[in-house]
Amino acid sequence: MPTMTAAQKRSQVKADYDAFLAGCPSRQLLDRISDKWVALILAALGSDGPHPAGDCTGEPQSMRYSELSRRLAGVSQKMLTQTLRSLERDGLVTRTVTPTVPVTVTYELTDLGLSLHHLMRAIKEWAEAHMDEVLGNREEYDTRST
Amino acid sequence: MPTMTAAQKRSQVKADYDAFLAGCPSRQLLDRISDKWVALILAALGSDGPHPAGDCTGEPQSMRYSELSRRLAGVSQKMLTQTLRSLERDGLVTRTVTPTVPVTVTYELTDLGLSLHHLMRAIKEWAEAHMDEVLGNREEYDTRST
DNA sequence: CAGGATCCCGCTAGATACTG
DNA sequence: CAGTATCTAGCGGGATCCTG
């Protein structure tokens, strides 16, 4: 196609670039963990005690659907189910159905999921170490421009 | 208020939970780096050579606005400016205006921004190590359910 | 050159109701 | 108990036009 407007060329370049981005492994990982509920589900499944979500120090455990929805107070069933499905699809959690009546479903981190959970802890640690600094900068910036 | 419907109670709990989430440092950090362009700008400013965005091995450098918009092919000016502003606000990049004519503006990573950039590299490395496994799981999952 | 201001559209999260 | 189905509103983000 020799006849291509400048606008068409631009959107072509953009499409290519987007495709490149979508194919980038770190981009994909980022999309995965940036999900609000992914992080929390990982934290919940990665912890073991009765401590609040976000705190995570111990061995992974299996949890029932209803347990998860209680631990992650604000989540809608839709989002919880959707997120769990996608995590299962990625091989980060296992879904086990026990045909009791009524049916019992438990979720557990896989080894892969656990390794990702450890990565999240690193993020958490950076956040705890530097986030106050960021917040300070933010406040200073806002007052400066007043 | 002794008279509160069950629905009101639920939304109250949810509001509290959301507030807790918003206050969580790792949640805030996640919101920051999960931004499509934040990751790319960090990568661009963190690298030094003429290699494509995403590849990053070298010392941080300063870049002009127009350079950035060229390196990050798909970005709109709106998003580029908006992202740069928020990064500046957080103290992750510095914005330097040189009053030439026409005006010249350069951006550079701060030490804080650089340390975050290193964290992003860790994410990148996990992604490169495990993302193919995730993709494999995903494919298997999809064919299984066919 | 480096942005500010506007309009507008698509996607997605959330609420609600129903089921094996 | 552990989901599925549907409908809708809100907003992030792109495109476009304008300026010091």
For the segment(s) A26-145, the CATH number from 1.10.3720.10, 1.20.272.10, 1.10.10.10, 3.30.70.3270 is 1.10.10.10
Please name every residue paired with A93 in a beta bridge, in sequence order, or none if there are none: A109
Q: Are A87 and A38 in contact (CB under 8 A)?
A: yes
**Residue A93, pLDDT score:** 97
Once rounded to an integer, what is the mean pLDDT over residues A65-91? Answer: 95
Per the CB < 8 Å rule, is A18 touching B122?
no
Chosen for mutation from A12, A14, A29, A110 (greatest number of chain B CBs closer than 10 Å) is: A29
User: Among A118-127, A133-142, B41-50, whose mean pLDDT is lowest?
Assistant: B41-50
Instruction: Confirm or reject contact between B95 and chain A (CB < 8 A).
Output: no
Instruction: Read off the tokens for A35.
Output: 């999900």
A75 CB neighbours strand C below 7 A: yes
Nearest to B66 by CA among B102, B14, B30, B38: B102
Nearest to A54 by CA among B34, B17, B115: B17
pTM beyond cutoff 0.75: yes
Q: Report d(CA A102, CA B78) in Å as an integer.
A: 53
Q: Where are the domains of chain A?
A: 26-145
Please, which pLDDT band fits residue B5 given cuts at 50, 70 and 90?
low
